[in-house]
Amino acid sequence: MAANFWTSSHYKQLLDPEEVDVVHQIDKERGISIEDFKLIKLHMANYIAKLAQNVKVRQRVVATAITYMRRVYVRRALTEYDPRLVAPTCLYLASKAEESTVQARLLVFYIKKLHSDDKYRYEIKDILEMEMKILEALNYYLVVFHPYRALSQLLQDANMGDTTQLTWGIVNDTYKMDLILVHPPHLIALACIYIASVLKDKENTAWFEELRVDMNVVKNIAIEILDFYDSHKMITDERVAAAMIKLNK
């Protein structure tokens, strides 16, 4: 989106990492740890992406939906709003906000197709009810900026067109974390380019230096992403299941 990021609500709403990683009190009482919290959000981001694949929407819609979901849980507890309903509803709302509406009944169809587990089975009316609650939790701010647009321009400028696919994939992976709530999208794009250039042995220090951005911030984001890749290896289905089960009491 080319709209002006610096004057947008997205910019004004950027949070400190400490504000994002807070487990709400009632969730703590259920024994949900910060790791569980992150894991559940990751699991839900994957769920949104999987649903999106089925209903066929653009990546931008997926990214917006995940951002909504993550913003919701800054303000609401997992036990308050069931993530298994919040996730599809965020996709539903994002599809409307990004002007490529997906019908609620289509979503419900794929929810049932993807999950035999009753805990996931929500109906159209549940989604529509949750839509309103999500709007409220988002304080009605719906415009979200993403790294993708900056990415293609920056890659071109850095003469790194051949790494587009790799970098694009890294950007997609950043939505498994809360980065989009914390950092301006173009810095996330730069961090992904930075990782790609290290991986592919591209010498573009000069290019980075010419950019008028704080490279320390970019490097820190890059390190966060790499840390995530490391810890991601340890995530097993069992661990996710163990975290999810805490929601069911």
Partner 1 sequence: MSEVDTKKVADRYLKREVLGEGTYGVVYKAIDTKTGQTVAIKKIRIGKQKEGVNFTALREIKLLKELKDPNIIELIDAFPHKGNLHLVFEFMETDLEAVIRDRNIVLSPADIKSYLQMTLKGLAFCHKKWVLHRDMKPNNLLIGPRGQLKLADFGLARIFGSPDRRFTHQVFARWYRAPELLFGAKQYGPSVDIWAAACIFAELLLRRPFLQGNSDIDQLGKIFAAFGTPKPSQWPDMIYLPDYVEYQYVPGQPLRTLFPMAGDDALDLLSKMFNYDPKARISAQQALEHRYFSSGIPPTEPALLPRPPPKKESVTSKGSDFNPLEGPTVLSPPRKSRRVMPNREGFEGNTHLADRMDDHEYEARQSADERNEHVAMSLDFSILGTRPPSRPTINSADRTHLKRKLDLEFQPEEED
Interface with partner 1 (CB under 8 A), residue from 33, 101, 159, 231 = 101
- For position 6 contacting partner 1 by CB under 8 A, the verdict is no
Q: Quote the least distance from Cβ 221 to partner 1, whole Å.
A: 21
What is the residue type of 126? D
CB 68 within 8 A of CB 134: yes
Q: Does 8 bind partner 1 (CB under 8 A)?
A: yes
By the 8 A CB rule, do 178 and 70 touch?
Answer: yes
Size of the site for partner 1 (CB under 8 A): 39
What the block records as the tokens of 160 is 């790194």
- Crossing angle of helices 104-114 and 83-97, rounded to 10°: 140
Q: Is 54 in the site for partner 1 (CB under 8 A)?
A: no
Among 9, 46, 204, 220, binds partner 1 (CB under 8 A): 9
Q: Which stretch binds partner 1 (CB under 8 A): 100-108, 111-119, 199-207, 208-216?
A: 100-108
Alpha helices in 76-146 (DSSP H): 83-97, 104-114, 124-137
- 206 near partner 1, rule: CB under 8 A: no
Interaction between residue 3 and partner 1 (CB under 8 A): yes
Query: Angle formed by the axes of helices 83-97 and 124-137, to 10°?
Result: 80
Q: In 3D, which of 45, 135, 31, 128 has the Cα closest to residue 83?
A: 45
The reply to whether 92 sits near partner 1 by the rule CB under 8 A is: yes
91 CB burial (10 A radius; 0-12, 13-18, 19+)? buried
Per CB under 8 A, which of residues 136..175 are in contact with partner 1? 136-137, 140-143, 148-149
Structure tokens at 21: 């990683």
Under rule CB under 8 A, residue 133 binds partner 1: yes
Please give the residue ranges that form the binding site for partner 1 (CB under 8 A).
1-4, 7-9, 56-60, 80, 92-93, 96-101, 103-105, 124, 127-128, 131-133, 135-137, 140-143, 148-149
